[in-house]
Amino acid sequence: MQDNTQLAEQGWEVTTNYIHRFLKAEFPLLPDEGVKAIHDYVTQENMLVWIAKHLGVKDLIRCESFPVPPSVTKQVFLAIIGAVNHDQGMQRAEMFVHDFVVAQLVGKDVNAMWDVPNPMGMLAEILQKEGRGEPEPRIINQSGVNTVTPVFCVGVYSDKELLGEASGDTMPLAVEEAARVALANMFKTHEGRKPLALDTRLKTMAEIAGKTDYLENKS
């Protein structure tokens, strides 16, 4: 039996590459750290092991130790992607990644994957770079201020234009949440955005991402 390390590396290259291109095409305004965060979420060991388990990869594994360690399952899964790439070409391998790995993003809160410690600061930086007014948080509504269950609705404004609105348990929390919503609106990863382009065929995605070289070898 040959070692699957090389195939696993190939598989990892294909996966990482495709996910980055997909996310950049899907969220063009999201900064690199955000894209990396989503990529890290979708390719984390737990996720890949879960996908592998449900695809029946368990039956394909020959391993010394039992139970099979997650790192081995992950390596086998990536080796399978590498094998598809080796045997049937990059397009088929990427379709595999598209259908099984990228599809795990459906229904997930993409903004929660990127841990931004100071959203207000980040928002101020971005607005300054764009030459817009600095962010101003203002109270839109508040209820039960003197009770144990208050609600503060806060909006973040820049030059009197509403960027994002959110509510919170305490005032600082509401301001932070509103800044997060403002960032999500700017990066177009807000809750009301159009769904992930998962039904788009690979060709269109390649066109969007601007990489059509490998498609010319299509038989």
Partner 1 sequence: MASRVQQHWLTFSRMWLLCDARWQPTPELAKRICKYLEGRHKPVYHPLTDCGDHVVVINTKEVAFDKNQWEKKLYAVNTGYKDTMIAMSAKDFHRMDPTKVIEREVYSELPKNSQRQNLMTRLHLFPDENIPDNIKENLVDIIPPVMEPPKRLDEFTEEEKASWPRFFIPPADYKPAD
Amino acid at 25: A
User: Which residue stretch of 68-76, 81-89, 93-101, 108-116 sits at the interface with partner 1 (rule: CB under 8 A)?
Assistant: 108-116
* Closer residue to partner 1 (CB): 31 or 150: 150
Q: Which single residue is written with the structure tokens 């932070």?
A: 176
CA–CA dist 164, 158 (Å, integer): 10
Q: What's the CA gap between 195 and 158, in Å, rounded?
A: 28
The distance of closest approach from Cβ of residue 11 to partner 1 in the complex, given in angstroms and rounded to an integer, is 34
Q: By CB under 8 A, which span of 36-44, 60-68, 78-86, 165-173 interacts with partner 1?
A: 165-173
**181 exposure class (CB count in 10 Å sphere: 0-12, 13-18, 19+):** buried
Q: Does 118 bind partner 1 (CB under 8 A)?
A: no
Single out the segment in contact with partner 1 by CB under 8 A; choices: 71-79, 80-88, 141-149, 202-210. 141-149
Instruction: Give the C-alpha separation, 36 to 40, whole Å.
Output: 6
Q: Does 110 bind partner 1 (CB under 8 A)?
A: no
Tell me if 146 contacts partner 1 by CB under 8 A.
yes
Tokens of 25: 């095409």
* Residues 167 and 177: beta-carbon distance below 8 Å: yes
Taking CB under 8 A as the criterion, the residue among 191, 203, 204, 207 binding partner 1 is 191
207 touches partner 1 (CB under 8 A):
no
CB distance 187 to 29 below 8 Å? yes
Nearer to partner 1, 84 or 110 (CB): 110
Binding of partner 1 by 41 (CB under 8 A): no
> Token pair of 82, please?
């590498």
Q: Which residue has the tokens 């950049």?
A: 24
- Binder among 111, 187, 196, 205 for partner 1 (CB under 8 A): 111
